[in-house]
Amino acid sequence: MNLMKTPLFGSLLALLMMGFAPDAGAQQFMTREGHVHFFSSTPIEDIEADNRQMSGLLDASTGDFVFQVQMRAFHFEKALMEEHFNESYVESETHPKATFQGSIASWENIPNDGMRHDVVAEGEFDIHGVTQPQRIEGTMQWMDGAWNLQANFEVTLADHNIVIPAVVKDNISPVIAIDVEAQLMPR
């Protein structure tokens, strides 16, 4: 088996190339099956999509993390919506992934006691080739040897140069609600 061609190696190599190089002795947790859901609501139409291929890496010694989502892995109820999303809005050929890299604030104060704890993740969020600082509130819980995380946040399309054509501007909200869930297992 050629290690260079395995999806896991490719994902981790990409994470490390993005500047995330945790201490080799640190406890690391990862996922390749995180879930991202987005929702756009307007009086004319609700649009939503799911992606179950979010990958991520957490350095438990520092609270540093990186998450990555392949844009073509979002699936919509209608095939035409998926086509427009990839070709016209996020331009998946040119910008194939979204990333969020940063650190969990006060990580050292989050106990692994089985309780759900409020957390704040701060970092750089890149989508459509435009990086913006992002602060995301969520929860983390230590359960059965893994970190479970949940977060809800919003993305303003204009902040990432995602243009909605005038003909459908009333169908798509300029601010998209994002929900994220993942279980990070020891690596």
Interatomic CA distance for residues 169 and 187, integer angstroms: 44
CA of 141: how far to CAs of 101, 107, 116, 151, in Å? Answer: 20, 12, 5, 12
Walk me through the domains of the chain, giving residue ranges and CATH numbers: 28-186 (2.40.128.110)
Please check the confidence at residue 114 and state whether its pLDDT lies above 60: yes
pTM (two decimals)? 0.83
Which tens digit of pLDDT belongs to each residue from 1-30?
333 444 444 444 444 444 444 444 459 999
Please check the confidence at residue 173 and state whether its pLDDT lies above 70: yes
Interatomic CA distance for residues 45 and 51, integer angstroms: 20
Task: Band the pLDDT of 42: cuts 50, 70, 90.
Answer: very high
95: buried, middle or exposed (CB in 10 Å: 19+, 13-18, 0-12)?
Answer: middle
Cβ atoms of 59 and 103 within 8 Å: the answer is: no
Which tens digit of pLDDT belongs to each residue from 61-108?
999 999 999 999 999 999 999 999 999 899 999 999 999 999 999 999
Query: Of 129, 128, 175, whose CA–CA distance to 155 is shortest?
Result: 175
Whole-number mean pLDDT of the chain? 88
Count of other CB atoms within 10 angstroms of residue 160:
19
